[in-house]
Chains A and B, each alone.
Chain A
C-alpha cells in the first residue's frame, strides 16, 4: 500500500502526467463536444469511434499527399463529415436503427482504414509544438497548457462556440426541442429529422477534427488500433457530464487524467500489471458513470427515431 501511495505521489508531481492528461482530454473533448450536440438532438451516436478513426486515417493520408498539417486536418474533418452523413441519412432519413448503423459504420471505417493503410502506407509526422513562452515555465502545469502541439489549441475555442450554438441560438433551441419532445417540435414547425441530421454532421465535424488531431498532433503515425475505444469513452463522458457542456468537459478531463496516469506510472519506475492498467480507464468510467448517472436526466427522446404520426 505504501508503495502504491508513493507511486501516486510520483505521478502527481510529474509534469508529464499533466501534459499527457491534457492531450488525452483534448481528444476526448473534440469528440465529446460534437456528441453532446448530437445527443441533445436525440442521436446516441455509436459511430463516434468510426468518425474519429476515419478522421485519423484521413489526417495521415492528407499529410502524406500534401505534406501540410493544416490540409491534413481539413481532410480529417471532411472524412468525419462523410461518415456522419451516412449515419445521419441512414438513421434520420430512412429511420433505420441508429445502433445498427453505428456499429456497421465502425466496422466499415475500421475495415477501409486498415485495408487502405496496408496498401498505401501513408507517411506522416507530428505537428510542431506551439509554446507560449513565459507561461510555459510555470511548474507542473505550464507545459500542459502552454506547450502543446498546435492542433490541440483548436479545442479551446470550440467549447464556448458549441455552448453558444446550443444554448444561445435559435438553431440550438430547436435541436434541444427535437431531442426532448420531437412530436411537439414537429407540430411547432421544426423539421425534426433535418435538425437531427445537422447535429450528427456537427458531431462528424468535431470528431473528424479530433481524429486528425490524434494522428497529427499526438501520435504522428496512423495505426489500426490508434483510437482504441476512446470514441466510446467520449460517449461515456457525455453521459457522465449529464449532457451539459461543463460536465462533459469535466468528464473528458477526468478520463484523460486516468489515461495519462496509466501511461506515466511505468515511466516513473513503478511496475504494475499492464492489463489491469489498460482496463483502468474503462473501469473508472463505468464506476463514475454509475455514481453520477442517477442524478442527471437524459434528453427524453434519446435514441428514439422520429416518424411523423408514430408516437
Chain B
C-alpha cells in the first residue's frame, strides 16, 4: 500500500523534524496492522450479516445455510479435496489477471478465455492419439495458446485501433460461448459421435480417454488433481517475477506511470501485449486443467463448461490485490463457497445465495484498503500543510 503513494514531502529531510513535531504523531506499525485486521474482520462479518438477513427475510434459516456451506466446503468427508479442485483454476486465472493488472492493462474476459482454452484442449485430448503424458502436455499447451489468442484479439485491437480493452474482452466472452456452442453441434469439431448407449445427441463432447486425464492425489479420502502442485509452483514463480525480476519491475513501471516507462525504454505495446497474452494463456490453461482434472463436467466439454470460473478468478485477483499469496488464500475461500453451495439444497434455500454471499464479500473486502488509503492521504496532506 505505502509504495503506491508518491511522497508529498519531497522538499528534503532538513524540514522533517519540525514537521513531524507539528503533525499528529503517526501511530505505531503494530497498531496500524491491528486496526487493518480489525477492519477486514468487521467488513467480512458485516457482509455475512447482510447475507444472513437476506436469507432470513425470505424465510430461510441462516444457521442452516452457513452450516451447510461449511459442511460442503470443509467438514464433510472428502470435501476439502473438492474445494482444492475448484481452487486450482481460480488460482491460475487470478495469477494471469495479476500480471495484466500490474501492467495496467485491463482484462475482464477471462470467462471467454477459459472457454476457448477448454474447448481447444478437448479437441486435442479427444482427437490426438499417442502416449498419455504427451497428449496431456499438448492439451495444456494448446489450451494456453487458445486463451492467449482470445486475449490477443483484444490487445491487438487496443494497440492497433485504440479500442478499449475493457469492452472487447467483455464482448468476446459472449462470442466465445457462442462459438464453442457451435463447435459442440458439429461432428467434425467437438460433438461426440452417436452411440447406441446415448439416446439423445445433445451438445456434449467425447469424454477424454483414461490416459489423457491428470492423475489424482488422494489424502485421507480427499482427492484432487495433481495440477494443484503445479499451481502452487506457478504462484511462487509469479511472486518471484514480481519481486525479483527486471521484467516484473518494468511491468509495474508501465502500470504505475506509462510515461516514465516510455522514457525508460519500456515499450508500451510490447510489454502490454505480453502481459495480456500471458493473462489469456493462464485463463486458457485453467480451462484445460478444468477439463483434464475431472472436477468439472466429468472430463467432457459442454456448453457453459466455464461455469463462471473466469469471473470468479478475476474477482479473486482483484480482491487479493494481485498478491500471489493472497490469491491462493482468497481462491481457496471462494472455492469453498462454491463447493459448499452444493450442500444448500438440503436447507431449502436456493443455491444462488452463494453468489450473493460472494459478491457481498468482494464489496466488503474493497472497503478496508480504501479507508486505509484515504486515511494515509489525509495524514500526508495535513503533514504538508503544517510544514508550509
Partner-B contacts on A (CB < 8 A): 44, 46, 86, 90, 94-97, 99-101, 103-105, 107-108, 110-112, 114-116, 118-120, 229, 232-233, 235-236, 239, 273, 275-276, 278-279, 282-283, 285-286, 289-291, 293-294, 298, 303, 307-310
Contact = CB atoms under 8 A, between A and B. Distances in A.
Contacts of A310: 5-6, 377
Interface in B208-260: none
B356 A290 contact: no
Given A275-B181, A293-B162, A236 B167 contact: yes
17 contacts: A46-B166, A94-B370, A95-B373, A96-B366, A96-B367, A100-B318, A101-B363, A104-B359, A107-B315, A110-B355, A111-B355, A115-B58, A229-B171, A278-B174, A282-B171, A286-B163, A293-B162
Contact of B318 (A97, A283, A286): A97
A298 to B, nearest CB: 8
A115 B356 contact: yes
Interface in B155-191: 157, 161-164, 166-168, 170-172, 174-175, 178-179, 181-182, 185
B362 interface: yes
Nearest to A113: B352
Contacts of A294: 161-162
Nearest to A294: B161
B269 to A, nearest CB: 15
A107 B358 contact: yes
B281 interface: no
B359 A105 contact: yes
Interface in B1-27: 5-6, 8
Given A108-B356, A293-B164, A308-B381, A100 B362 contact: yes
A111 B185 contact: no
With a 10 A CB-CB cut-off, give which of B54, B167, B370 has the most chain A CB atoms.
B167
A194 to B, nearest CB: 15
Contacts, number: 152
B137 interface: no
With a 10 A CB-CB cut-off, give which of B157, B319, B366 has the most chain A CB atoms.
B366
With a 10 A CB-CB cut-off, give which of A107, A239, A283 has the most chain B CB atoms.
A107
Contacts of B8: 309
B348 to A, nearest CB: 10
Among all A-B residue pairs, the 9 with the closest Cβ atoms: A111-B355, A108-B359, A279-B178, A94-B370, A111-B356, A275-B182, A104-B362, A107-B359, A115-B352
B62 to A, nearest CB: 13
B296 interface: no
A103 B367 CA distance: 15
A104 B161 contact: no
Contacts of B163: 239, 286, 289-290, 293
B interface, how many residues as a size bin? 35 or more
Contacts of B131: none
Nearest to B318: A100
B106 interface: yes
B350 A279 contact: no
Contacts of B377: 307-310
Contact of B353 (A90, A101, A115): A115
A105 B363 CA distance: 8
B52 to A, nearest CB: 13
B204 interface: no
Given A99-B108, A101-B363, A293-B161, A286 B171 contact: yes
Nearest to B59: A119
A115 B360 CA distance: 14
Contact of A232 (B171, B356, B380): B171
A275 B178 contact: yes
A51 to B, nearest CB: 15
B49 interface: no
A298 B369 CA distance: 29
A235 to B, nearest CB: 6
B122 interface: no
A26 B369 CA distance: 40
A275 B186 CA distance: 12
Contacts of B374: 94-95, 307
Contact of B171 (A90, A101, A120, A285): A285
Contact of B106 (A99, A104, A273): A99
A183 to B, nearest CB: 14
A309 B8 CA distance: 8
Nearest to B58: A119
Nearest to A49: B170
Interface in B348-388: 350, 352-356, 358-360, 362-363, 366-367, 369-371, 373-374, 377, 380-381
B185 A275 contact: yes
Contacts of A229: 171, 174
A103 B318 contact: yes
A42 to B, nearest CB: 14
Contacts of A232: 167, 170-171
Interface string B295-316: 0000000000000000100110
Nearest to B359: A108
Contacts of A108: 355-356, 359-360, 363
A111 B311 contact: no
A290 B359 CA distance: 32
Contacts of A303: 166
A120 B350 CA distance: 12
